[in-house]
């Protein structure tokens, strides 16, 4: 595995695996909203028994889909689940143009529905000057670690003390210290959206360019005909939703502008629903957009909506919205595809983040009653029967349904003191004062949870988790067969950290595999 990750738990005897294999649940039942496909029985090992990774496993395991990675050097790579068969989608990331202080890097690789193309964001930024360049021998120099100062070099004579405060440490008698800001901390020069072939055999095609807007999010229409993308004006911090057809020569058109904008495509690929906040004082708006006729229809709603991102059901016939229930409470409401309320599913207090199961009928949600808290309990609700089950009482900050709807990957806020000596998963927590998460996979039928990892998420994954109900509509960390997960973590110590990409069995039955260094990774849909 990874050098320095000495706290990983040792796998038990693999020869006991055959005797202890058990059959998992057969999958979700069919529902009235979307008939789920017949699922094959899933055979899993008890979590205390685990196969090691080795070259034999790598040689014979079945490849499932492909993984797009934001690499350490700012480029986009595509690889299989073993870290092999690498295709370099971009090559010029993070290079400083000769005679300038500009840096270029790529982010947010989003797969097309047919997995043949990748939409990605290019960002060019002007680096700010180095914070410090010290070559004389001072007694000590205070170095701030974090998103703005990450590159540090010193000779072997330098000694490292424990951090003076979170995010800081002192270098005693340094011979040479260089602290350089990341490109993200610099001034925006330009941003662009490109289309790339997943096999890397065709040149990138630019479909949008801006010198005034950042691009934090994009997604494909379900039929691959359009890309909707979010832009943020750097000066007034307003957002715009733009839509562009994917054929050659198409030009983008603006759909919405607001202080915040969230949307979701109907599976028919012809309509989308958008939730727009015009300002902090005005009520949110829900609007249906017919892409073909360019017609917009306002959906009536009372007061501020208590959710972030809308979501159509897998068959496109329904959506979830919220209504006020009075006294500071809200109702989660099932509505038809036009936004007409049908019935109340549950009541809650606070803000709700929800996502339909890809198999239909079930909805998982997290309610944050207090915005100061990192997350909330994870609950699954059967839309047909109204039955509810709390799957986790931990502070869940993000969750992702598996493609077959048989599992949920749950990320909850954690601390080093939460890790019990008998924890059956892996401990990837570095000896630093940084945010930690616990990754579990949960069966929504019986609530059975498998704790896979404690880890420190990368900064890019933290940003994704903060709006997971937006990003879970367009990207996935699950393999197409719902058996594997890919995620990114930070590991290191006060002398420096690096971001790593890991691939793992969702059951925890095989030791995780390090694919390389990178800040973000998404699996292809097929």
Task: Note the pLDDT tens digit of each residue in 112-122.
Answer: 999 999 999 99
Q: What's the average model confidence in pLDDT over 69-85?
A: 95
Q: How confident is residue 348, by pLDDT bands cut at 50, 70 and 90? A: very high
User: What pLDDT score was predicted for residue 99?
Assistant: 59
Contacts 24+ apart (CB under 8 A), 203-208: 204/89, 204/90, 205/248, 207/244, 207/246, 207/250, 207/252, 208/242, 208/244, 208/252
Closest CA to 36 of 447, 525, 404, 481: 404
Which of 5-14, 195-204, 321-330, 517-526 is predicted least confidently?
Answer: 5-14
Q: How far apart are CA 394 and CA 377, in angstroms?
A: 6
User: What pLDDT score was predicted for residue 214?
Assistant: 93
Tell whether pTM > 0.85. Answer: no
User: What pLDDT score was predicted for residue 46?
Assistant: 63
Would you say residue 165 lies in a domain? yes
DSSP conformation class of 510: B
Structural domain for 159, as ranges: 132-179
Q: What's the average model confidence in pLDDT over 432-441?
A: 93
User: What pLDDT score was predicted for residue 97?
Assistant: 55
Would you say residue 430 lies in a domain? no
Q: How confident is residue 255, by pLDDT bands cut at 50, 70 and 90? A: very high
Give the β-pairing of 426-428 and 388-401. Answer: unpaired
Would you say residue 402 lies in a domain? no
Task: Note the pLDDT tens digit of each residue in 78-114.
Answer: 999 999 999 999 998 876 655 567 788 999 999 999 9
Q: What's the average model confidence in pLDDT over 251-271?
A: 94
Query: How is the chain split among helix, strand and coil, in percent rounded to 5?
Result: 5, 45, 50
Domain count, the chain: 1
Q: What's the average model confidence in pLDDT over 403-419?
A: 95
Would you say residue 282 lies in a domain? no
Would you say residue 167 lies in a domain? yes
Would you say residue 170 lies in a domain? yes
The mean pLDDT value of the chain amounts to: 82
Contact 242, 229 (CB under 8 A): yes
Would you say residue 108 lies in a domain? no
Better-predicted residue by pLDDT, 101 or 402: 402
Q: Using alpha carbons only, give the angle 87, 197, 518 rounded to the nearest 5 degrees.
A: 45
Q: Is the pLDDT of residue 468 over 90?
A: yes
Task: Note the pLDDT tens digit of each residue in 119-150.
Answer: 999 998 875 544 444 344 444 444 444 444 33
Would you say residue 161 lies in a domain? yes
Contact 200, 89 (CB under 8 A): yes
- What DSSP letter does each residue of 468-480 carry, written as one string? HHHHTTT--SB-T
**Sign of the torsion formed by the C-alpha atoms of 292, 293, 294 and 295:** negative
Q: Is the pLDDT of residue 409 over 70?
A: yes
């Amino acid at each position: 595995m990874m050098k320095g990750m000495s706290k990983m738990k040792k796998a038990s005897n693999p020869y006991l695996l055959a005797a202890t294999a058990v059959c998992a649940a057969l999958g979700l039942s069919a529902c009235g909203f979307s008939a789920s496909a017949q699922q094959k029985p899933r055979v899993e090992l008890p979590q205390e028994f685990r196969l090691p990774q080795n070259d034999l496993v790598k040689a014979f395991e079945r490849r499932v889909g492909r993984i797009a990675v934001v690499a350490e050097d700012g480029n986009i790579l595509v690889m299989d689940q073993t870290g092999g068969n690498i295709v370099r989608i971009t090559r010029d990331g993070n290079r400083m143009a000769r005679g300038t202080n500009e840096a270029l890097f790529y982010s947010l690789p989003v797969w097309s529905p047919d997995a043949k193309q990748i939409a990605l964001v290019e960002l060019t930024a002007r680096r700010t000057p180095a914070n410090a360049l010290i070559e004389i021998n001072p007694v000590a120099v205070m170095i701030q670690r974090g998103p703005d100062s990450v590159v540090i070099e010193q000779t072997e004579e330098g000694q490292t003390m424990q951090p003076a405060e979170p995010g800081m440490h002192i270098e005693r008698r340094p011979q040479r210290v260089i602290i350089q800001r990341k490109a993200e901390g610099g001034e925006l020069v330009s941003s662009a959206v490109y289309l790339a072939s997943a096999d890397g055999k065709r040149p990138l095609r630019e479909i949008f360019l801006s010198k005034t807007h950042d691009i934090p999010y994009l997604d494909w229409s379900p039929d691959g005909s359009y890309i909707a993308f979010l832009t943020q004006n750097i000066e007034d911090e307003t957002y715009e939703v733009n839509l562009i057809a994917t054929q050659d020569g198409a030009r983008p058109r603006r759909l919405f502008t607001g202080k915040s904008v969230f949307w979701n495509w109907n599976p028919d690929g012809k309509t989308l629903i958008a939730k727009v906040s015009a300002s902090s004082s005005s009520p949110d708006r829900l609007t249906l957009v017919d892409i073909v006729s360019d017609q917009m229809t306002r959906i009536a709603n009372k007061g501020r909506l208590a959710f972030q991102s809308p979501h159509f059901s897998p068959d496109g016939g329904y959506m979830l919205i919220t209504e006020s229930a009075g006294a500071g409470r809200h109702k989660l409401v099932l509505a038809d595809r036009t936004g007409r309320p049908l019935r109340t599913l549950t009541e809650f207090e606070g803000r709700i983040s929800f996502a339909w199961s890809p198999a239909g009928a079930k909805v998982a949600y997290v309610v944050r009653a207090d915005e100061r808290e990192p997350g909330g309990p994870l609950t699954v609700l059967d839309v047909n029967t109204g039955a509810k089950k709390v799957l986790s009482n931990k502070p869940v900050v993000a969750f992702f349904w598996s493609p077959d709807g048989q599992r949920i990957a749950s990320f909850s806020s954690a601390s080093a003191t939460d890790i019990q000596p008998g924890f059956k998963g892996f401990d990837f927590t570095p000896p630093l004062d940084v945010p930690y998460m616990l990754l579990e996979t949960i069966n929504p039928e019986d609530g059975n949870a498998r704790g896979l990892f404690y880890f420190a998420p990368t900064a890019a994954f933290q940003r994704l988790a903060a709006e997971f109900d937006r990003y879970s509509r367009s990207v996935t960390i699950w393999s197409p067969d719902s058996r594997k997960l890919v995620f990114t973590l930070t590991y290191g110590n006060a002398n420096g950290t690096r971001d790593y990409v890991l691939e793992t069995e969702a059951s925890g039955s095989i030791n995780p595999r390090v694919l390389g260094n990178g800040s973000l990774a998404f699996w292809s849909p097929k």
